[in-house]
């Protein structure tokens, strides 16, 4: 096939991924990196006015990705989602001489395997809840006596945010175990699982860029994972975020000393490359952190509320990171919020093909923009094409102003059965 040729002397950037996180990066590159020539594989229809998208290609088509990288010799390749990292795409591209932001396949196990991550934390003496490895309902029943309710059951593998079950009773726990191990509702992601002691407190998302030795922190965000207001309903991929979260100096120091530094000390012992993002899901009790999970990429929707706060030339920053070098990040003094607009039936069975009204008329401004997560254009009509369809992002000089902007934007688009939480930023 004929490969696209990048324009002139513009910085050439390839983003791998197709959701809201990747669209947020497109917008951040357009804002911070002058004349950036941005390609996204596969991308989605909502990104096409701002980037060249390969929507007919798949992240599984590594041969095409490799050919594309060779042809365009990108200044940086940014890998958005976890699946290609777990599949080893970063290793293959790096071995071909390309500048890649994304950890090695080995370190991607920190997200790809909950058990690997828990064992890593124990080895590094990082505070986390006690756990036991299980692979059957019988083993769950055997280990449950060592834990107190509510019980947490986490599928070992990648489950698109649907592999964590918080159970108030043993009966609920056994039902979750039966779904995972007997009914195989999570497929291979549920071959093994971890039963874990529930950690009380409130949750924050702490993300940082790292070359495997040093790190640069990003603004702290707070996600709202449950589907309904008041943290009720099933877990989702995230229904909204805001940033920056202000935490006490004591908590900040405890996170750095007890979590980040031992994490990097353990990573630096190995021979495998880590140039990318570490995302810490942290539960806080008092000023003490306990790590819930590692992610090895930017969060979605955390990214949508973090990137508007960055003033640094992001393309140049990431290109240097791909070379193993870290620069400081310049941040502005704003707040940013993201409200996720979901299709009816999300997260289990989201409806696709529902006509969207108001999408094209909701223009970007300095304080508002829409993020395309799961949209498609069929003929001249925009329709839903995923569970999390759009993200309404608001920016303001205060948290309250950013939320007001986000919700004002959210009201401009409609489809049958649209669902979004109305308490983002007010509920832990």
Q: What is the CATH number of the domain that holds 161?
A: 3.30.1490.20
User: Long-range contact list for 87-96, CB < 8 A, 24+ apart?
Assistant: 87/60, 87/62, 89/16, 89/59, 89/62, 89/65, 90/273, 90/276, 91/273, 92/62, 92/66, 93/65, 93/66, 93/69, 94/273, 96/66, 96/69, 96/70
Examine the domain organization and report whether 252 and 282 are in the same domain: yes
Examine the domain organization and report whether 142 and 192 are in the same domain: yes
Examine residue 422 and state whether it is found in any structural domain, yes or no.
no
Domain end among 267, 299, 322: 322
pLDDT 10s per residue in the chain (428 long)?
A: 445 544 556 899 999 999 999 999 999 999 999 999 999 999 999 999 999 999 999 999 999 999 999 999 999 999 999 999 999 999 999 999 999 999 999 999 999 999 999 999 999 999 999 999 999 999 999 999 999 999 999 999 998 777 899 999 999 999 999 999 999 999 999 999 999 999 999 999 999 999 999 999 999 999 999 999 998 998 899 999 999 999 999 999 999 999 999 999 999 998 899 999 999 999 999 999 999 999 999 999 999 999 999 999 999 999 999 999 999 999 999 999 999 999 999 998 999 999 999 999 999 999 999 999 999 999 999 999 999 999 999 999 999 999 999 999 999 999 999 999 999 998 66
Q: What is the CATH number of the domain that holds 374?
A: 3.90.600.10
* Predicted confidence (pLDDT) per residue in 274-292, tens digit: 999 999 999 999 999 999 9
Examine the domain organization and report whether 139 and 75 are in the same domain: no
Amino acid 9: pLDDT: 67
Structural domain count, the chain: 4
Examine the domain organization and report whether 152 and 184 are in the same domain: yes
- The partner residues of 369 in beta bridges, in order of sequence, read 393
Q: What is the CATH number of the domain that holds 283?
A: 3.30.470.20
Examine the domain organization and report whether 362 and 314 are in the same domain: no
* DSSP character at residue 52: E
Examine the domain organization and report whether 363 and 377 are in the same domain: yes
Examine residue 225 and state whether it is found in any structural domain, yes or no.
yes
The model's pTM is: 0.95
> What are residue 56's phi and psi, to 5 degrees?
-90, 0
- Which residues span the domain enclosing 77? 12-107
Neighbour tally for 338: CB within 10 Å: 35
């Amino acid at each position: 096939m004929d490969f696209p040729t990048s324009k002139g002397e513009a910085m050439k950037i390839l983003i791998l991924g197709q959701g809201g996180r990747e669209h947020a990066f497109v917008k951040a590159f357009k804002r911070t990196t002058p004349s950036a020539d941005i390609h996204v594989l596969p991308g989605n229809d909502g990104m096409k006015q701002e980037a060249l998208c390969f929507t007919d290609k798949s992240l599984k088509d590594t041969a095409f990705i490799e050919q594309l990288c060779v042809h365009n010799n990108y200044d940086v390749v940014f890998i958005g989602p976890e699946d290609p990292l777990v599949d080893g795409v970063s290793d293959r591209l790096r071995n071909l001489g390309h500048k890649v932001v994304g950890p090695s396949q080995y370190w991607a196990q920190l997200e790809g395997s909950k058990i690997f991550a828990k064992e890593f934390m124990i080895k590094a003496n990082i505070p986390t809840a006690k756990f036991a490895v299980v692979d059957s309902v019988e083993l769950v029943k055997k280990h449950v006596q060592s834990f107190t309710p509510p019980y947490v059951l986490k599928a070992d593998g990648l489950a698109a945010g649907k592999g964590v079950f918080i159970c108030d009773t043993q009966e609920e726990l056994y039902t979750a175990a039966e779904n995972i191990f007997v009914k195989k509702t999570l497929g291979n992601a549920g071959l093994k699982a971890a039963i874990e002691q529930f950690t009380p407190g409130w949750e924050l998302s702490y993300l940082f860029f790292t070359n495997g030795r040093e790190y640069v922190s990003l603004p702290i965000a707070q996600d709202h994972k449950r589907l309904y207001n008041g943290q009720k309903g099933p877990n989702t991929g995230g229904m909204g975020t805001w940033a920056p979260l202000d935490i006490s100096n004591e908590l900040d120091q405890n996170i750095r000393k007890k979590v980040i530094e031992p994490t990097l000390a353990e990573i630096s012992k190995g021979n495998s490359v880590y140039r990318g993002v570490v995302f810490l899901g942290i539960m806080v009790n008092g000023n003490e952190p306990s790590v819930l999970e590692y992610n090895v990429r930017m969060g979605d929707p955390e990214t949508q509320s973090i990137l508007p706060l960055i003033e640094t030339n992001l393309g140049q920053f990431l290109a240097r990171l791909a070379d193993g070098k870290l620069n400081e990040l310049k941040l502005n003094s704003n707040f940013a919020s993201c409200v996720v607009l979901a299709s009816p039936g999300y997260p289990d069975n989201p409806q696709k093909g529902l006509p969207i009204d108001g999408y094209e008329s909701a223009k970007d401004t300095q304080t508002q923009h829409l993020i395309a997560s799961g949209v498609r254009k069929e003929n001249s009509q925009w329709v839903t094409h995923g569970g999390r369809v759009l993200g309404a992002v608001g920016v303001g000089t205060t948290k309250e102003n950013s939320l007001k902007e986000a919700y004002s934007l959210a009201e401009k688009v409609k489809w049958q059965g649209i669902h979004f939480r109305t308490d983002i930023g007010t509920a832990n």
